[in-house]
Amino acid sequence: MKTFGKGNEKMEKIDEREKKAKKNSIKKLTSRIRDSVDSTLNEIKADSKSLAQDLIIFSVGFILSRCQLLLGARPIGIAFVAMLPTGIWPALLGVVIGSISLGTNGVIFGVATVITALLRIAASISEKRENGEGELFGESLLLRLAISVLGSFIVAIYEAMMRGLDEVSLLFGLVMIILTPLITFLLSGLCSTGIGFWEIIEGSSDIIKLSDCERKERYDRAFFQISALALILFISLSLKSVTILGISFSYVFAALAALFTAKRFGSLRAMAAGFVASLGLS
């Protein structure tokens, strides 16, 4: 009887061990599945964010390429591609398609933008060879400004060849050569502060506060806000000619810009964004 009782106890202990082992294996399997699902969801989220960012950059490039300034000059698309340190390809595609959509007069701006991107690639490779390090499109701002001048110079030469050397073509060339690097520099504050794209979309006013920060950081944040206002103005100017049922898209954009800025960065900055956007309507 004692032997039989001990045998039962041993069997019960073995059963308990097996049950614990099964529970542990189920927990491990569940944990692995959960980790795998979380990892997949994070990858999908990252991919969707990356896709959304590319689509936004593409759309901005398309809109800016259609913005006409003095004497029919359209330097902003070239400046946009010359300025960006990342997201070059969707921006280039947007600018090229936007330029082509203007007809035969816009094709040269698309060609000049492509040449600008190629010059940036050549400059990046050259810097990498000289310094032994560096990233594609990681040139200095000064070099990007010089490349933007070359891109605008191509348009100026083409215009002079098509029109002949008259006052209009010379003024057009000057406008392109002067405004393109100026706009490149003006917009460069969007990418030189270290503020990420999704920090702007999902962030709060803390990322652009001018108080409680060092002098250089304060300057960078102020420059970022100036660049953002310039971008809003250029988009508004470009959308001015687009109307549906007699309503200009610039009105819609001005309202959306003000609402978004108010929600993310406060009422004072929203007033500034709305005012600057409304300048494109005048």
Q: What is the pLDDT of residues 237-253, one digit of tens each?
A: 888 877 777 777 888 88
pLDDT of 134 > 80? The answer is: no
What per-residue confidence (pLDDT) applies to 59? 92
CA distance 169 to 160: 5
Q: Is 248 helix (H, G, I), strand (E, B) or coil?
A: strand
- The two tokens of residue 19 are 């049950």
User: Which residue in 204, 206, 186 sits closest to 260, CA to CA?
Assistant: 204
User: Which residue in 74, 46, 50, 45 sits closest to 62, CA to CA?
Assistant: 74
Global pTM value: 0.77
User: Which residue in 149, 42, 135 sits closest to 86, CA to CA?
Assistant: 135
> Per residue in 11-66, pLDDT tens?
555 566 666 666 666 666 566 666 555 555 555 556 677 888 889 899 999 999 98
CA distance 200 to 183: 21
Which residues touch 255 (CB under 8 Å, ≥6 apart)? 274
**Average pLDDT of the chain?**
80
CA distance 120 to 137: 6
Distance of CA 263 to CAs 144, 225, 269, Å?
Answer: 34, 16, 10
**Residue 197 CA, distance from chain mean position:** 6
pLDDT of 9 > 70? The answer is: no
- The two tokens of residue 230 are 């310039």
What per-residue confidence (pLDDT) applies to 80? 93
Give bridge partners of residue 244 from the DSSP assignment. Answer: 247
pLDDT of 4 > 50? The answer is: no
What is the chain's length? 282
> Per residue in 79-120, pLDDT tens?
999 998 888 899 999 999 999 988 888 899 999 999 999 999
